[in-house]
């Protein structure tokens, strides 16, 4: 039950340690060091049988400033290393959670994880992520990277975003008064990523917006 014991076992990278590592993922706000170590080991092992417990560990609700968020971050990193698409819904949920409810570093790492997994189902969440802020920073570049890596499936949703036809982002823009703070930010960011993608079907919508 001590972290140093798991650290010692981790060096062997032995499949027989997996049940113990998976058990250690069940952590609390006061006892999370074992979970952090275990998540790292399971990620290195690419343990697909640990995906569900790692998803629960990554999605565990914690106070914004809790030190136990290190366990959540470790679980996210492990899921990305394993590369199982089952993790996509968990990462999109983390990505779109407000910075008022969780450490914003989790949003950033979730976006980078989605950039690695490159699943088209994450595009709607990534479009919202383009406009999310927290801790006096944003995750625009991380979400931009993910959308570009996903490629062609991102194009049509970005054209809809450019035209002001994304309900989630439009609601966010009204609620947070984008037009008062940063007028034109929605079409601007949509145009930037469409430029990255270089898909010719975006030319006419971009010209129409420019006009």
Over residues 130-145, the pLDDT tens digits come to: 999 998 899 999 999 9
Q: Give residue 13's pLDDT.
A: 85
Looking at residue 102, what DSSP letter applies?
S
pLDDT at 36 over 90: yes
Distance CA 121, CA 38 (A): 29
Over residues 113-124, the pLDDT tens digits come to: 999 999 999 999
Over residues 178-201, the pLDDT tens digits come to: 999 999 999 999 999 999 999 999
Query: 3-class DSSP state for residue 186?
Result: helix
Looking at residue 2, what DSSP letter applies?
-
Distance CA 115, CA 94 (A): 14
First to last CA, the chain: 65
Burial 20-29 (b: 16+ CB within 10 A, else e): ebbebbebee
Q: How confident is the model at residue 77 (pLDDT cuts 50, 70, 90)?
A: very high
Tokens of 191: 């145009």
Distance CA 72, CA 61 (A): 9
What is the reported pTM?
A: 0.94
Q: 155 CB contacts (<8 Å, ≥6 apart)?
A: 194, 197, 199, 201, 202
Percent of the chain with pLDDT over 90: 97
Distance CA 82, CA 130 (A): 26
Q: Give residue 131's pLDDT.
A: 98
The tally of CA atoms less than 13 A away on the side-chain side of residue 183 is 1
Over residues 87-108, the pLDDT tens digits come to: 999 999 999 999 999 999 999 9
CA angle 148, 136, 59 (to 5 degrees): 65
Distance CA 73, CA 59 (A): 10
């Amino acid at each position: 039950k001590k972290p140093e014991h798991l650290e010692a076992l981790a060096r062997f990278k032995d499949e027989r340690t997996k049940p113990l590592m998976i058990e250690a993922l069940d952590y609390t706000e006061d006892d999370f060091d074992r979970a952090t170590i275990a998540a790292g080991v399971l990620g290195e092992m690419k343990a697909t049988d640990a995906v569900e417990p790692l998803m629960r560990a990554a999605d565990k609700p914690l106070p914004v400033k809790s030190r136990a968020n290190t366990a959540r971050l470790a679980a996210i990193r492990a899921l990305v290393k394993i590369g199982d698409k089952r993790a996509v819904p968990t990462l999109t949920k983390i990505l779109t959670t407000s910075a008022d409810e969780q450490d914003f570093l989790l949003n950033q790492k979730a976006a980078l994880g989605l950039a690695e997994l490159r699943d088209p189902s994450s595009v709607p969440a990534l479009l919202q992520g383009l406009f999310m802020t927290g801790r006096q920073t944003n995750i625009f570049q991380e979400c931009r990277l993910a959308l570009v890596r996903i490629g062609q499936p991102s194009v049509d949703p970005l054209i809809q975003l450019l035209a002001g036809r994304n309900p989630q982002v439009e609601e966010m823009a009204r609620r947070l008064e984008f037009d008062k703070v940063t007028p034109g930010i929605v079409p601007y960011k949509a145009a930037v990523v469409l430029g990255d993608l270089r898909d010719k079907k975006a030319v006419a919508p971009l010209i129409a917006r420019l006009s």
